Structure 1
Amino acid sequence: MFLNFIRTNKISAGILAFLRIYIGYAWLTAGIGKLTGPGFDASGFLQGAIASAGGDHPAVQGWWAAFLEHVALPGAGVFSYLVMFGEVLVGLALILGIFTNFAAIMGMTMNFAFLFSGTVSTNAQMVLITFFIVVAGANAGKIGLDCWVIPFVKERLHKDNHKSEKHIATV
């Protein structure tokens, strides 16, 4: 019953739009702050997360610390850009309601990466709210650009698939 409500109801679409814009604003402002600030560099954050993997009560699990130490830290420059632009793009997409589910999943991915790195802040509540946006599916972007973009994309994909089927049939 709840699943049907969150996926199809117009009132639910309005509530989801509000939540989507709230989460999008949080992502957008965080990303813009990093882009316009004095040269964002994720290496300090990564080193702090790696250091939090030691001691009697580690905040970061060993497997994640190993990933951070051997993959993320050596590529800190790339990860810095991914975080900055990822936050801005996820924020814009959620605010505009375009490719909402993909943007929400990418936002949750970043939230989980921050949580795995020992940062609590607002990440847990953002994951919870974003979970409802993802579960709602298309209804989360119904009040947004998805109501035009998704049908257009589906139509284009259908036409392209139909053309390739005709081509295969003639070969």
Structure 2
Amino acid sequence: MSRKKKAASAQSTQQLMGIDSLKDYCISTHMGDLVFFIIKPTNISVLPDTSITARIYALLNVMKGLAEVEMLALNSKESFEYNKNFYQERMEQEELPAIGKLLAQDSQHLDRIQVLMASSREFYIVVRLREDQGSDVFPYLSRIEQSINDNGFTTRRATQQDLKRMLGVYFEQNVTTEDFEDFDGDRWVTTKE
């Protein structure tokens, strides 16, 4: 095994993702701390055109008011594409009509679930903190949160568990875990006191 591969295999998952640490309020990376604000989505399909235009203008106000803002949109639910592809392949190979019919029903069930979850998105406004902010960081973050809320969006700053869940969904498509551990298997370790 080459030296480069050995070094990569010895890295933790956090290191491989470029994360130095997860703090209570941010993700620390070598390029700065990233603070995430969770934006509650609005169903724009039921809004008139004028309201949609107003929402876009309000988002524009948020974005132009903060130079260090980035946006992130993620699926907050599982994708069933692999499962649907598996059912499709099995239906093509299946010789028994009864089994083929059951596979078709399973595939249709996954389609219905996916349609119900189609609007399950999570939106984040990401703020990259400068190193020189020091102790002024929390009042600064409160002003940003207030600015977002003043522009008509419902938001809150992501907690450490929110950040772990977001990373779990983004990297692993894991939406079933409620509490993420700091270390894999951490819940099974007991210590004598």
The structure carrying a bigger strand percent of its residues is 2
Fold equivalence (TM over 0.5): no
The structure whose residues are more often helix, as a share, is 1
Which category of TM-score, normalised to the shorter sequence, fits these structures? under 0.3
Q: Greater CA radius of gyration, 1 or 2?
A: 2
